[in-house]
Each structure stands twice: as C-alpha cells, then as structure tokens.
Amino acid sequence: MGVASVAEAVTMSTSGSHTTGLRGQDLDSSSDNTMSHVVSSSFSVSLSETTDGGVGIASSFMLANESTSGLQTAGLTLTFTDGSKLDVLTAGNAAASHDVSVPGGAGDASITVTTTNKTQTGLDFFGEATGIGVEWHSAADFMADGLKVGASLSVDDGVAAVDSVALESSFGVGATYVTSAGDTALTIGLGYADSDWKDSSTAPSANSNGYHVGFSAVTGDLTVAAGYASGDDVVKTPDVEIADNTVTKVGVKYVTGDITLSVGYTAAEATDSTTFGTAGSTTDSQDITDAGISYAVASGVTANIGWKSVDSSDEGVSETSGGTSWYIGANMAF
C-alpha cells in the first residue's frame, strides 16, 4: 500500500502571433507586377520556476512557426540573485545580443535578390554558434551605471563536414551602454565574434569573424539610430566564403499617438569565393531603402503598411533581381 506523490507544476505562459496581408512586387527582371497573400503564425510555450535559493530556471519550446525554416527550441536560462543570467544549450552568440535596433519598414515588404549575390545585410551576420554552448549576461549597471556586458562560447557538436563545411567552435563578446544627454536617451551597442569552420571532418577550412557598433538616440517621440558592421562570413549550401563584408544602416522612427512612422536605409557590399582561403576579386552589393506606417488598432492588433526598394549588384555588375515591393496587412499578437 502506498501513497502517490505529485510534484507541483512549473509556471507556464503562452505567447504567439498571427500575421496576414497582401504583398506586391515590381521586379527589375519582369515587366509584370505580382501580388500574393502573405500569412505566418507562431505559438510558443514558456516554462519557469524559482529554487528556494532564489535562482530562476526557465526554458521554452515552440508548438508552431509557419512560414519559417522550422520550429525553434530553447535550452535553459538560469537567473541568479544578483540579476545576471546564464543561457545553457542553444545559447546563441553574445555579439548578436548587443546589436542596436535600427528603424526600417513595417510589415512584410520583400525582395529576394539572386542567389549568387551573397552580400549580408544584417549587423550580426557573423555571429554563429553551435547548440553546445553557453552565454552569460551580466546584471544591469555592471561596473558602471547603465552598462551591461555578455560573453558566449560554443564547441564542436560532432557534426561531420562531409559534403559541406560545418561550424566547429565560436565565441562572442558584447556590451550595451545606456545613458542620457539632456532630454535624449542614448544607447550604444557593440560586439565582436569569431567562429572556426571545418571541412570534410579534417581541419578548419575557413573562419568567420567581425564586429559591429551602433547607437540609438531617443528624444521624446523621435528615435534616430545607426549601425556599422564589418567582417568575414561563411554561407552554406552551397559553401561560400564571404570576405570584407560591410554593412551600414541608418533609420528614423517617429511615434504620434497610435501611429508609428519609420524609414531606413542599408548599404552593404562584400566579395565572395567558393574556394576557401582564396579571396574573391569582384564585389556584390545591395542598397536597401524601406519605410513603414504602423497603426495600433486595438490591444495586440497592429495594421502595417510597408514599402521597400532594393538595388542589387552581383560580381561587380548591376543585375535585375532588385526592384520594389509594398505590403499592407495586420498582425495580432498575444
């Protein structure tokens, strides 16, 4: 005869979103304009609990993530009594955690350039990590008021590089500093990351690394931000080594009541090569201009209008995969 014991459940919360809208495209490669219905949805579950010693333990998993490359799962996040955190497994890269958000468009206006144009257009294009890794986040006001720092490390997960390169190890560091100048709130972010890649399970064949720096200034309802990144990258399927990739982003956002107006510009260029260790000799580039209007219709419901223009150059030659795109739709989040 025995008595069954049931452990208390952890705290659970759910979140997600659903986006639906209409996208139009006017490509340089075609005389016809196209329109398509765009829809994406996500639903995730977050789990958390706190030990008797005050250490928080959290994780999450995604039940659905349509119109993306697949479901995302998280490792564990430990939150300590001093306010610092440690992400364990699938932790990410600390450089990417500290890039500054630069305003741009709204919704899902989109242009896909030719696959041979390998220019990277994000500020964190070099911040890879394997699933076997950790990332440490300091508490706020680390060694100075307004300063937060982070560091990450990932190691070889044992995936063989047979027909393709595979990430072997990586590390990253980053910092964010928040201060004020009169009526302006100023945020400065910077990061550095380095990754080793192996080829055919033998030895590192290439290396990706880079740095980014950026700032965001908020004065009342106006936000002005800019960022710059420079480095080398490795892109898989097919394997391409990208050298001397630079990205410059600037953007402005203004909020008036329930309406948010935003505009942004990105200039990026790089050389690429399918032969690792051999630098490319010609340049790929992308110049991107985007703008958007967002209107808060109700709690959790946002209407978006977006516009994007892309000028693309592949191997030093202007090509026709660029063009313009517009979007109108709504996002519902919970």
pLDDT tens digit sequence for 10-42? 899 999 999 999 999 988 777 778 899 999 898
Of 72-86, 119-133, 150-164, the range with the lowest mean pLDDT is: 150-164
State in Å, rounded, how far the first CA of the chain is from the last one.
47
As separate numbers, helices (DSSP H) first and strands (DSSP E) second, the chain gives: 0, 17
**Residue 217's CATH number:** 2.40.160.10
In a domain, 215, yes or no: yes
In a domain, 90, yes or no: yes
- Full DSSP string of 102-162: -----TT------TT-----STTTT----SSEEEEEPPSSSSSTTEEEEEEEE-------S
Stretch 209-233: mean pLDDT, rounded? 95
In a domain, 120, yes or no: yes
In a domain, 2, yes or no: no
In a domain, 177, yes or no: yes
> What 3-state DSSP class applies to 155?
coil
State how far the Cα of 279 lies from the Cα of 48, in Å rounded to an integer. Answer: 47
In a domain, 144, yes or no: yes
Stretch 84-108: mean pLDDT, rounded? 92
Residue 140 structural domain: 17-333
> What 3-state DSSP class applies to 183?
coil
Which of 169-178, 238-247, 275-284 is predicted most confidently?
A: 169-178
Of 312 and 298, the one with more pLDDT: 298
- Of the candidates 231, 154, 224, 218, the one whose C-alpha atom is nearest the C-alpha of residue 183 is 218
- Looking at the structure of the chain, the number of domains it has is 1
In a domain, 12, yes or no: no
Q: Mean pLDDT over all residues of the chain?
A: 88
- Res. 324: pLDDT tops 70: yes
Stretch 140-162: mean pLDDT, rounded? 90
Q: Is the peptide bond before 238 cis (omega within 30 degrees of 0)?
A: yes
How do residues 234-272 score in pLDDT, each as one tens digit?
A: 877 667 778 889 999 999 999 999 999 999 999 999 888
- Of the candidates 55, 85, 69, 72, the one whose C-alpha atom is nearest the C-alpha of residue 16 is 72
In a domain, 9, yes or no: no
234-240 long-range Cβ contacts below 8 angstroms, 24+ apart? 234/128, 234/165, 234/195, 234/197, 234/206, 234/207, 234/208, 235/118, 235/272, 236/164, 236/165, 237/164, 238/274, 239/164, 239/165, 239/274, 239/276, 240/118, 240/272, 240/273, 240/274
**CA triplet 314, 197, 242: central angle to 5 degrees?**
15
> What is the reported pTM?
0.86
